[in-house]
C-alpha cells in the first residue's frame, strides 16, 4: 500500500544591503540583499522544512544549524539536495510541491519558470509537479513595508 505524507514549511529573511536575492535557486537582481547565514533563499528554506516535515525528520535548523560555520554561505540548492538524500534514504519520493513567495519587491513573476525548473530538478520530479506562486500582502505588515521576504511551501511525499 502506498503511504502519503504532507509537510509544510515557512521561512522569512530580513532585507539588508546587497544587489540581488536568491529565490528558488535563481539569482534575481534587486536593490537590496537579504541578511542570512546561508544564501538566504527563503523559498528553498521553506521547501526544506516542508520536505523534512512530511518525512517526520525535524526541521532545517536541526540539520543545518546557523551556528555551524560549515553552512555559512551555503546555497539553498545544496541544502535541498542534502535533505533529498535523507528523504530518499527514508524511502520517500516527492509527489508534488506548491510554493509561495510573499513580498512586494522584487517582482518575481518573470522568474517563476526558472525557479520551477531548478526545483523540479532538485526534487527529481516533472516540472508539472512543481508550482511557484507569488503574492504581496497589499502593503501590510513587514513584507508590505519591504522589510523582509517570506515564503511558504507544501510538499506531498509518497512511499511504501
Per rule CB under 5 A, is residue 32 in the interface with Mg ion? no
* CA–CA dist 134, 45 (Å, integer): 16
Per rule CB under 5 A, is residue 112 in the interface with Mg ion? no
Q: Which of 7, 9, 11, 39 binds Mg ion (CB under 5 A)?
A: 11
Name the segment binding Mg ion (CB under 5 A); options: 23-31, 40-48, 73-81, 148-156: 40-48
Nearer to Mg ion, 47 or 123 (CB): 47
* CA–CA dist 119, 67 (Å, integer): 26
Closest to 153 measured CA to CA, from 105, 104, 83: 83
Nearest residue to Mg ion, by Cβ distance, number only: 45
Name the segment binding Mg ion (CB under 5 A); options: 42-50, 81-89, 128-136, 141-149: 42-50
Q: Which of 24, 32, 44, 45 binds Mg ion (CB under 5 A)?
A: 45
User: Do 122 and 84 contact (CB within 8 A), yes or no?
Assistant: yes
Closest to 104 measured CA to CA, from 52, 9, 30: 30
Cis peptide before 27 (omega within 30 of 0): no
Nearer to Mg ion, 27 or 159 (CB): 27
- Grid cell for residue 30: 534587486
SS3 117: helix
Name the segment binding Mg ion (CB under 5 A); options: 4-12, 61-69, 96-104, 106-114: 4-12
Give residues in contact with Mg ion (CB under 5 A). Answer: 11, 45
Amino acid at each position: 500500500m502506498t503511504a502519503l505524507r504532507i509537510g509544510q514549511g515557512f521561512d522569512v529573511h530580513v532585507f539588508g544591503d546587497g544587489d540581488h536575492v536568491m529565490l528558488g535557486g535563481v539569482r534575481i537582481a534587486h536593490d537590496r540583499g537579504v541578511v542570512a547565514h546561508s544564501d538566504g533563499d527563503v523559498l528553498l528554506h521553506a521547501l526544506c522544512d516542508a520536505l523534512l516535515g512530511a518525512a517526520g525528520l525535524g526541521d532545517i535548523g536541526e540539520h543545518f544549524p546557523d551556528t555551524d560555520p560549515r553552512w555559512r554561505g551555503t546555497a539553498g540548492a545544496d541544502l535541498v539536495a542534502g535533505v533529498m538524500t535523507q528523504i530518499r534514504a527514508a524511502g520517500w519520493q516527492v509527489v508534488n510541491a506548491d510554493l509561495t513567495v510573499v513580498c512586494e519587491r522584487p517582482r518575481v513573476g518573470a522568474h517563476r519558470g526558472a525557479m520551477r525548473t531548478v526545483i523540479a530538478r532538485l526534487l527529481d520530479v516533472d516540472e508539472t509537479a512543481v508550482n511557484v506562486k507569488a503574492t504581496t500582502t497589499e502593503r501590510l505588515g513587514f513584507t508590505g513595508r519591504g522589510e523582509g521576504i517570506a515564503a511558504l511551501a507544501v510538499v506531498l511525499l509518497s512511499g511504501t
